Structure 1
């Protein structure tokens, strides 16, 4: 009985993973616009708000505006990393997740775009 419960839990994780990474991001490889829109929204709204709310970015000045957080988010998502701002505390975790998210979403976009126009 315990083995079935673990198998059912693993199946639930597999279904959730497939929905998140295949269906939500690109409709199973059929929508190349969706990854761009998700990336733009996350990088320009979600991540800057998270950095702003946690005050987890340091820069050259002590007073950062929302545009500073926006800039840091874009530099992080594109993995440029200019070095004029850096994450502190929980911001390190957020920035790491954002960098992985940015790379993943561009990989999804390129895969779906190539699939659509290489037929």
Structure 2
């Protein structure tokens, strides 16, 4: 079983996101933001049926369904860090990222639209 990723402190995330948005982001900022937003996805969509990969920084399994245990997962999402940060923060719509070829998504349950952007409360929260 892989270890769960942890979210980063809000101040660190805000600082790193500001640098990335200003075009001054460094590799460490991309790593921090990628892992932070993947950890939020794990929390928002618990499960192990879809593997979301953002090389070289991290990968997580999420979304309820058939559990994947070894070999190539039946459902895989892969993208680069810049695209992941953009869809996670709502700067880029999931469907647009897929249509532009910035995201590779194959298999069932790989449409992450219901979970994004990650900066808003999950559906039904606060009701």
The structure with more helix, counted as a fraction of residues? 1
Give the alignment's TM-score, normalised by structure 1: 0.32
- TM-score under structure 2 normalisation? 0.31
Q: Which has the higher contact order (CA 8 A, sep 6+)?
A: 1
